[in-house]
Amino acid sequence: MSNITGITRGGTAYTPEFIMTLDQTKCIGCGRCFKTCPRDVFDLVDREGMDLTTDDDEYGDDDDWDDDDGFSDDASMVMSLKDALDCIGCKACIKVCPKACMTHEAQPPA
């Protein structure tokens, strides 16, 4: 079975990749994905009461980003998927995410 495809205004075919997961343990709650998403896919929620422990202390920080960015592990907000089925597969969210918290996949037609 083939995946969903689209056509650009110029007539070029492309395959959209839809959001599948959002790793809240990596999320710094910056809201960039929320601001750039043209749909109602994300929601900023209170981090308090969520078990978002990571293994960074045991294994070291595995990204190339400077952790002196004004955010701490106890930041009060974190992004969540509000309506993943509203995703149009543009991947604008992952392009602006400094922590690469999301995964995307092409999908077959429903």
Name the average pLDDT for the chain: 84
pLDDT digits over 67-94, tens only? 444 444 455 899 999 999 999 999 999 9
Domains along the chain with CATH numbers: 6-60+69-105 (3.30.70.20)
Of the candidates 44, 24, 26, the residue with the CA atom closest to the CA atom of residue 34:
44
d(CA 18, CA 87): 6
Of the candidates 74, 72, 108, 73, the residue with the CA atom closest to the CA atom of residue 89:
108
- Please name the amino acid found at residue 107: Q
Q: What is residue 88's predicted lDDT score, i.e. its pLDDT?
A: 95
Q: What is residue 75's predicted lDDT score, i.e. its pLDDT?
A: 59
